[in-house]
Amino acid sequence: MSSTVQNDQYWEQFSVLPGDLEHIINYLVETERPQMLDQLAQELIQARHRQMVALIENTLSQGRIYRPGESYQVGERLIFPHLNNLLGEVIAVRPGNNPEYEAFSVITVKTANGAVREFVAELRREHPLNTATYVPSKNLDIQDIYAHYGEKIKTALRAALEKNAQFVSVGEQWFLRDLLVEVPAGQLNIAEALLDMAGGGPLPTAKLLDELEMPGEVSRPLQLFSLEYALLHDRRFDEVGPAGIALWHLRQMEPQGVLEVPLRLRYVPIPYSRALLDDTMLALERQIDDEWADVTEPAPPATDSVTVVLNYPHWRSGTLPLSPRVAQLFPTARVADRICFTFMDGRTGETFPGWVVRSGRYVHGLSEWYKKNNVGVGVYVDLERGGEPGVIQVNVRPIRSKRREWLRTATTDSGQLVLEVTRVPVACEFDELATVAVTDPNAVDALAQQLQRTPLESLLEQIFSGLAGLSLQRAVHAMTLYSVLNLLRRVPPAPIFAVLATASRYVALGDNYWAYRGES
């Protein structure tokens, strides 16, 4: 670590000053091109360091730096950096007297505030003030400071730039509003036509720019930035690229399931107390990994593969949950809500578009793939980071020879959900606790609509009763209860578990199995 970082808290206490923004303005004018926030932060570090060196040099020039080993004369002006740059004048010099020391002097100094103090001089032994360095090295190691304080400086700088109308941004790039290249409406109409011919998109900014007429005297980076800024502020266009990659799509040609959260995925928060959940329940909640779980644990470590047990709402919507565990696998962007990427079938190599919808906490684009692979509720879906950026490989675990299995099956009858065990053809490996066959999803969805005002407690009791009837022990696993209840209501695990914990009719059997009280 450099001495600058070690010896003062200058960067730890960093805040953006008006002069800093003036420097950034001048820097952008001189470079004539947009700059990343990282670059602006490092430029500001460099400028601040130059200011700090100049200020210290100017302060120290007001007098001779006091060092105990040197001699002084009456009338000399001294500065004491170790005493907050105290200034004073030598008004007397006398011999020192201490048998433990060789001959030395004592100087009397009248300070700028009128106080009189004495200091040792001509000291013939080592002392740290004799070799102390008060001016930071002019050869600043920017990376050293940036490694320690870069995020703090960037956060402060971003906030200051966002509050100042002179600056505009596209992603992490910044420039001056007054120096933007104007993009006429006609050019944006051409961009719209280009995207329309490309099926709505996505297309990179450079591809659009190549077909537009922009001033030749302007640098290409500024042309790209100006075009991106204009596209961002036109409702026809949507920036859908992952972090660091600008891709454009016509908003009106995005899939409906991307523009609007599918009905089956909409969760209306249900109040409950997490204090009711014991360790077994919390462990199952983590295992289920519902995207709406109120988990406050640190983000899971990054991984290249994740397995999802598909629930009914996502099976029905052709989506995947964007839980924190799943989200770290998919491309993200700091600003964009909808991000377009590529799915690749791990078995066939076929590619097709996918969408991350961050506000809705889901990944869209799998409806046809689910049908093609005979995917059902409770099936294991394996996800893996592809070999190229923005590509996610998706797999199921096919059963070699399709067979019929005895599975719990959900149908409807007279406004009720009917649960029974029937033989159903299966093509993929599945979680036995989560699987449920739905032969007529339209009828189930219609029933869900009818029951949308039914309290969670009543809905849970109806489903618990139906599931208990499928078991000789009349025991119901909480995972199964969660899976089946989500046929009729989008609910994460915790509110369900809280009802089990508080309603007197349910009794825990252990290992997340439950029964009616009196039947256990």
419: pLDDT strictly greater than 60 = yes
The pair of structure tokens assigned to 123 is 């000291």
Beta-strand relationship, 506-510 and 338-345 = unpaired
Prior bond of 202 cis (ω within 30°): yes
Q: What is the pLDDT of residues 144-169, one digit of tens each?
A: 777 777 788 888 899 999 999 999 99
Q: Can you say how many angstroms the Cα of residue 356 is from the centroid of all Cα atoms in its chain?
A: 14
Residue 44 φ/ψ, nearest 5 degrees: -70, -40
- Residue 237 Rama label (left phi>0; alpha psi -120 to 50; beta): beta
H or E, element range at 417: strand 416-428
Cβ distance 80 to 90 under 8 Å?
no
Q: What is the pLDDT of residue 403?
A: 79
Give the per-residue pLDDT at 384: 94
**In Å, how far from its chain's centre is CA 135?**
40
Task: Kindly indicate the confidence band of residue 64, based on its pLDDT and cuts at 50, 70 and 90.
Answer: confident
Q: Answer for the pair 95, 120: CB distance below 8 angstroms, yes or no.
A: no
DSSP 430-480: B-TTT--EES-HHHHHHHHHHTTTS-HHHHHHHHHHHHHTTSTT--EEHHH
Nearest by Cα to 53 from 43, 41, 42, 45: 45
Report whether 377 contacts 424 (CB < 8 A). Answer: no
pLDDT at 446 over 50: yes
* Three-state secondary structure of 119-136: EEECCCCCCHHHHCCCCC
| Amino acid at site 160 | A
Give the DSSP H/E element, type plus range, for residue 107.
strand 105-111
At which residue do the structure tokens 């570090």 appear? 45
Contacts of residue 236, defined as CB under 8 A and 6 or more positions apart, other chains included, come to 188, 192, 250, 251, 252
Q: Write down the H helix ranges in 349-440.
A: 367-372
3 state DSSP class of 307: strand
Sheet containing 476-477: give its strands across: 476-477, 513-516, 506-510
What is the per-residue burial (b if ≥16 Cβ within 10 Å, else e) of 241-258?
bbeebbbbbbbeebbebb
pLDDT value at 510 more than 90: yes
CA distance 215 to 184: 12
Beta strands in 244-397 (DSSP E): 247-250, 305-309, 319-321, 338-345, 351-357, 362-364, 380-385, 391-396
**Under DSSP, is residue 72 helix (H, G, I), strand (E, B) or coil?**
coil
For tokens 């893996």, what's the residue? 384
The radius of gyration computed from the CA coordinates of the chain, to the nearest angstrom, equals 35
Q: Are 434 and 419 within 8 A, CB to CB?
A: no
2 has pLDDT over 60: no
Residue 518 pLDDT exceeds 80 = no
Place of tokens 């609509």: 449
3 — pLDDT class (breaks 50, 70, 90):
very low
For residues 411 and 81, which has the higher predicted lDDT (pLDDT)?
411
Angle, nearest 10°, between helix axes 279-288 and 493-502? 160
Measured over the CA atoms of residue 172, residue 173, residue 177 and residue 183, the dihedral's sign is negative
Provide the CATH number for the domain formed by 68-131 in this structure: 2.30.30
Mean pLDDT throughout 224-252? 89
Per residue in 5-49, pLDDT (tens digit) is 334 566 777 888 888 999 999 999 999 899 999 999 988 888 887
For residue 350, what are its two tokens? 């076929």
Class of residue 25 by CB neighbours under 10 A (exposed 0-12, middle 13-18, buried 19+): middle
For the entire predicted model, the pTM comes to 0.75
How is domain 283-399 classified at the CATH fold level? Answer: At1g16640 B3 domain (2.40.330)
Mean pLDDT (the chain) is 88
Going by CATH, does the domain composed of 180-254 fall within 1.10.10? yes
Nearest residue to 378 (alpha-carbon basis) of 461, 305, 279, 482:
482
- How many residues in the chain? 520
SS3 content of the chain, % helix, strand, coil (to 5): 35, 25, 40
Domain residue ranges in the chain: 3-59+136-173, 68-131, 180-254, 283-399, 403-516
Q: Report angle CA 238, 357, 346 to the nearest 5 degrees.
A: 105
Task: Centre a 10 Å sphere on the Cβ of residue 476 and count the other Cβ atoms it contains.
Answer: 26
Q: CA 219, 233, 221: angle at the middle one, nearest 5?
A: 15
pLDDT at 245: 77
